[in-house]
Amino acid sequence: MMLALDIGNTNITLGVFDGEQLAATWRLSTDRSKMPDEYSVMLTQLLSLRGMSATDIDAAALCSVVPPLTPMFVELCRQYFNVEPLVVASGTRTGIRILYDNPRDVGADRIVDAAAAMKLYGGPVIVVDMGTATVFDAVTADGDYLGGAIAPGMTIAHDALFSNTSQLRRVELLAPETPIGKNTIHAIQSGIVLGYAELVRGMVARFDRELGGGAKVVATGGMAHVIEKEAGVFDDVNPDLTLTGLRLIHEMAS
């Protein structure tokens, strides 16, 4: 079995693959203060709840946008699972060519998502990752990663609105019945949810024109389902895109 780890700024997403089948997934809060022993205890307990153990893991791959945690999880894999993890970086073989001005500037999760989308859906393809940030990535029909765009995530925008105003409060991020809110809750929901739906729709249209038209659009990230219907541009919503990408990249390296 292969352990896949996606270390993000807000959450750490973990998955265990039994061959090509994703057998289990978990999400943990990213905590830079935790030690490898603490994470290992949490992970071994989670495995146990699914009838698995550390000895079942014979391979691992990870991507990380939190540099302080990368060596910690590498050590965790070595010490507790007795495997040398593949750490995805700019020089890793992924099946796509990185045409960013400086390939080292591209987040590892963006590389993994783009590689997975190209393999699963073909190109040209646009990836919309709606997590801590809202990230758009573009891959050509030939498998060239051109780059993308980065905006604050929906939750960040929502929290900033609450933190920097006196009378506005946090609300549940759901689409309101109408864009013209008749109360403050609906007004905030309209501005955030419908506003981001329009952001996604507009950016996807711009990317598609630049890619020559006909690009598939794949969404991932925790907030994708919130605007899926409102944006109306996703060909697929794949919450496990990054984990699947780690499996595919690990297969290339094996």
Distance of alpha carbon 202 from its chain centroid, rounded?
Answer: 21
Q: How far apart are CA 27 and CA 75, in angstroms?
A: 20
Walk across the sheet containing 59-64 and list its strands.
21-29, 11-18, 2-7, 59-64, 86-87
Secondary structure element (H or E) that encloses residue 198, with its range: helix 195-210
Q: How far apart are CA 227 and CA 194, in angstroms?
A: 7
Q: How far apart are CA 160 and CA 174, in angstroms?
A: 17
User: Is 37 one of the catalytic residues?
Assistant: no
Helix axis angle, 36-49 to 70-81, nearest 10°: 60
Q: Kindly give the pairing relationship between strand 11-18 and strand 2-7.
A: antiparallel
- The active-site residue, picked from 6, 109, 137, 208, is 109
H-assigned helices in 35-177: 36-49, 70-81, 108-121, 154-163
Give the active site residues. Answer: 109
